[in-house]
Amino acid sequence: MDHAESAITIKLPWQEQQWQRIDDLFQNKKLPHALLLAGPNGVGKQRFALALAQYFMCESPSQGMACGQCRQCGFNLAGTHPDLKWVAPEEKARQIKIDQVRGLVEALGQTAQQGGYKICVLSPAEAMNINSANALLKSLEEPTANTLLLLLTDAPSQLLPTIRSRCQTVNFPLPSAEQSLAWLNTLVPSHTSVDELLYEAAGRPLAALELLENEGLERLQQLNKDYLALVSGRISALSLAEKWLDHELGDILAWLSRQLSRLISGRVAGTADISDAWQQLAAKTEPQNLFKLLDSVNQLTNSLNRGANPNRQLALEELLLESCEKFYN
Ligand SMILES: [Zn+2]
């Protein structure tokens, strides 16, 4: 995350309650040493953590916000505050390594250079392997004064229970569609279809914004078109696998998993949260075929997440062949 910003970071409109709860603890000097910010990816947990850190470090906060003027805010605006550490997997790594956690523990143990709070953000916390997590436990058990550890996670169940139990959990559920749409509308060009963006981002507003910024919506629309062409026999699995080599395999799998989940829940609940073309497609096949296909997508996703490095073209071909099979069954 790039911390150099032109303005102080503020919480998002749907984070009012969480902010109030933590601010009350802070004002009453009851802030715990570690907070676990838990909730789906793309709802703004990183933004919240940064806003909170800037607020706690500010010399003269007003109305529950950092002032943006003081020396500490100056450091934070430049992204160079010596007492704020941000720990994330290094580039291309999936895990937070033990050396990174050791560095963090050491930093937390030292006196704050600016005399205020020392804050460490660990994101995503589930990226810690068992050794990293054990290294962190020590500083959770013997915290030093004026330190705050913010652990961010999309998957709290993947954290060691001993880590979870030493943190106070603050939940960040998905905001309502109304809240997300209102917020997106203030940020996107007026011709943008915010409903479609939010739909493709599975209701996660920051993920929707990211889709817009990297032309993700166009890419997803192309995936959609291509896949429908495949299952109606207008393009072969082989050609499509080749065509899709430009896309990240993880993106394709996430998209297909979302589409299949929508089809399945639409069938179960009798609702139609997906386009007509997909509904017609689903009507041609049995629900158990959709479940089997979703299973294959999830298995491949899991193996990628565990660090497997399959032959992309072969893996895609197999999945696309299975798609044809299942939709024609
Ligand atoms: Zn300030």
pLDDT tens profile 28-80: 999 999 999 999 999 999 999 999 999 999 999 988 899 999 999 999 999 99
From the CA of 49, how far away is ligand 1's center (Å)? 16
Q: What is the mean pLDDT of residues 272-293?
A: 81
Q: What is the mean pLDDT of residues 141-153?
A: 89
From the CA of 52, how far away is ligand 1's center (Å)? 12
From the CA of 72, how far away is ligand 1's center (Å)? 6
From the CA of 9, how far away is ligand 1's center (Å)? 12
From the CA of 7, how far away is ligand 1's center (Å)? 11
From the CA of 300, how far away is ligand 1's center (Å)? 47
Q: What is the mean pLDDT of residues 134-149?
A: 87
From the CA of 59, how far away is ligand 1's center (Å)? 5
Indicate the pTM of the whole model.
Answer: 0.80
Could you tell me the pLDDT band of residue 250, with boundaries at 50, 70 and 90?
confident
What the chain holds in terms of domains, given with CATH numbers, is 13-171 (3.40.50.300), 215-328 (1.20.272.10)
Could you tell me the pLDDT band of residue 297, with boundaries at 50, 70 and 90?
very high
Decide if 96 contacts 127 (C-beta within 8 A).
yes
From the CA of 82, how far away is ligand 1's center (Å)? 15
- Give the whole-number percent of the chain exceeding pLDDT 70: 96
From the CA of 215, how far away is ligand 1's center (Å)? 36
From the CA of 77, how far away is ligand 1's center (Å)? 10
- CA 34 distance to own-chain centroid: 20
Question: Strand pairing of 118-122 and 84-87?
Answer: parallel
- Give the whole-number percent of the chain exceeding pLDDT 90: 58
